[in-house]
Amino acid sequence: MTRGVFISFEGGEGAGKSTQARALADRLRAEGKSVLLTREPGGSPGAEEIRHLLVTGEPGRWTPETETLLHFAARADHLARTVRPALARGDWVLCDRFVDSTTAYQGYGQGIGLPDIDWLTRFIVGDDGPDLTFILDVPVEMGLSRAAARTGDENRYERMDRTFHERLRAAFQDIARQNPARCLVLDATRPPAQTGMIIWDAVRSHLLP
């Protein structure tokens, strides 16, 4: 069976990744595609337990090294139990965050060496990275304002300082420059429906026959 397609959605807080992932899933299903919509950290029972440790509580509850390893532990379980089986079935996998978020948040944002993250990526992810990545870009203040409107206690990263979020935005731009064949940066200040059409056009031209 032909391997499925793996698409990731990246960006800072409040960029609209989840909204666009859901919209693309709906369009693909309307085309008769089998779609798995998932997220990181999370996406499998064990990874969801680790997610709670990462996205709740005080901003400084973990050292950067511990936090990085927790993300990769969650990712290993997510890949083994959710992503790889779906790709083997030929599904389209749409993931709200993946390795680029670890590179941005823990690498650029918290100062973990990028060679260490690259090594962990090779060890845990191997050749099973995304075929296409959409990076949704919004000014920091706009993104944090959107994120503040959400309810619930998964706000640990949102409460980190402004300079951290500025580093994240620059990091995603840098990741896109280094991976032009895979990454597409989108201005997510547009209305969501307009952004969604740009994403759909890119998917049709890059990945649909």
State the burial class of residue 136 (Cβ atoms within 10 Å of its Cβ: 0-12, 13-18, 19+): buried
The rounded distance, in Å, linking the Cα atoms of 127 and 91 is 17
Q: What pLDDT sits at residue 1? A: 64
The H-assigned helical ranges of 56-159 are: 64-78, 84-89, 99-102, 114-124, 140-148
Domain containing 169 — which CATH number? 3.40.50.300
> Radius of gyration of the chain from Cα atoms?
16
The rounded distance, in Å, linking the Cα atoms of 107 and 101 is 9
Residue 50 contacts residue 41 (beta carbons within 8 Å):
yes
The rounded distance, in Å, linking the Cα atoms of 157 and 14 is 11
CA dihedral sign, ordered 73, 78, 81, 84: negative
Q: List strands edge to edge, sheet with 183-187.
A: 35-39, 92-96, 5-11, 132-137, 183-187
Provide, for the chain, the percentages of residues in helix, strand and coil under a 3-state DSSP scheme, each rounded to the nearest 5: 55, 15, 30
Domain range for 62: 5-206
Question: What confidence tier does 208 reach under pLDDT thresholds 50, 70, 90?
Answer: confident
Our count of domains for the chain comes to: 1
Q: What pLDDT sits at residue 10? A: 97
Can you tell me the mean pLDDT for 169-186? 97
Report pLDDT digits (tens) over 83-140: 999 999 999 999 999 999 999 999 999 999 999 999 999 999 999 999 999 999 999 8
- Using CA atoms, how far residue 37 sits from 131, 138, 183, 192, in Å, is 15, 23, 19, 18
